Each structure stands twice: as C-alpha cells, then as structure tokens.
Structure 1
C-alpha cells in the first residue's frame, strides 16, 4: 500500500518527464534555424511559450501541494495528540459519561458509567441503554431520546 509520499513522488517524476520533453521540443525547434518561418515557426514558438507558461503553473501548484501536504501531516499529528488527550479525559473523568447513538444504543462509555450500569465497558457497548433500566423507566428514556432527536 502506498501513502501520500509515493503519489507526490510520482507527480514529481511526471513533471520532470514533461520538463525534459519540453526542453527536447525547444532544442528541435532551435535546430530548424531559418526554416522555422516556412515550417509554421510562429505557431511552434507560440506553442513553446504556452508550454513554458504551463510548466511554470505546474511548478507553482506542485510547491503549493507540497506545502499543504506538510501542513496536513502536522495537523494529523496534532489531531492524534488531541484525540489521545480527549480519550484520556473521557476515561479518567469521575462522573458517568455515555455516548449514545440516535436510537439510544450505547456507543461508548467511561469506567464510571460501566460501574453505574454494573457491567464491563465492552459488554455495554452496542446495547440499548434501555436494556439496563427497570421496565417502568424505559418509556421515559425513549420519550427523552425522541425529544432530543426532534431538537
């Protein structure tokens, strides 16, 4: 599996091939000498100028992409550090915290919530919160979940 670095390397190689090809075309045009007017020289000169302009734009875009790529690597590193920090806080907070899906299914819970529900964290994940409540309290929970979904 190749990462973003491999794609960037392929792009650099393709740009180098294009640059070499443009130089070859320029050399071939220069070899024509005085015959350039007869051989559509003005058109060839204009085409070479357009190629030079396109190469300049490609180089500028390549530099911008490289800078964005370096920035996204820094951002991903910062995001993973932030994610670890939030995960640590979630695990260490002394009050029960549950993350529910829209239907009331437990997606995540911290150790305090697992103690409150009297079950391991892994057991509760993926199960409806209503399953851990007494039968008489389940309709109230469903009503609250529906109200949250509406708002």
Structure 2
C-alpha cells in the first residue's frame, strides 16, 4: 500500500464523492476510482457503499479513514521533525498542554528543559482529548491535561490532585 492511496482514500472519504475528490487531488476521476477499487481489494474489505449520488463509508471504511488520517499525520510530523533536526541538529521535544496547566509547574519545567542546548522545546496548546490524538500521531511527546482519559494506547500518570 502506498501513501498516495491513503491520501486518495482520505480525500474520497471526506468528500463522499469521487468527482469532487479527484478535483481536490488534481487528478482524473477514472484513476482515482481504480485506486479505490485496488485499495479495497488489497485490504479485502468494502470501504464504501456506492449510491447514485456519491459514496458513503462502511463501518470498516470509517475506521480505516480514522487510521489513515493518523498515519498521514504521523508521516507529516516525522518529515517536519526530520527537517527541523537536520537544520538545527537538535532533538525536538513537543509538549501538549491545556492553558490552565501552563500557570502551574509547566513554565518551570520548560525553562529547565531549554537549558539543554541540544533540545528544542515545542509547545502545543491542546484540549486533553486532542492531546490523546496528538500523542498517537507523534505530534507531541508528552501532554499535560486536566482529566483522565480511558485509552489503552496512552500511558497516564496523575501528577497532582
């Protein structure tokens, strides 16, 4: 499976229409239609319900759309971090936080981390639930939120109550 197939699928899934997705991607519709058929054959699952006026995602298609977005976000974050590291020769450490946490211990921690000249700190203001997705896609390395999230893919630790 190629990344372009994932990009094509995300466009079709978001548009719900092959013609509009093809226009958005700046490609002709027939190759896009073939690519979606090939993707379905490769996965072995129907991703779309074909209707007279467009497409609707199947339950498998909805799941695959969410996963495809995360994969593409992870690839974009990896490319961005690679470029940044190559330019500065620094390690990137991205921190997600909710604004109210910023007034506590976070500023002190960031100041301490910034003393390391080989480390570049990037701050992202995100809601707690947004931080979970950002952690999964690699946009952030650590997050500071206000509520506990029930997600087996994210390790959590209560710092203070």
Point out the structure with max Rg over C-alpha: 1
Bin of the TM-score, shorter chain as denominator length: under 0.3
Q: Which is bigger in relative contact order (C-alpha 8 A, separation at least 6)?
A: 2
Name the TM-score, length of structure 2 as normaliser. 0.26
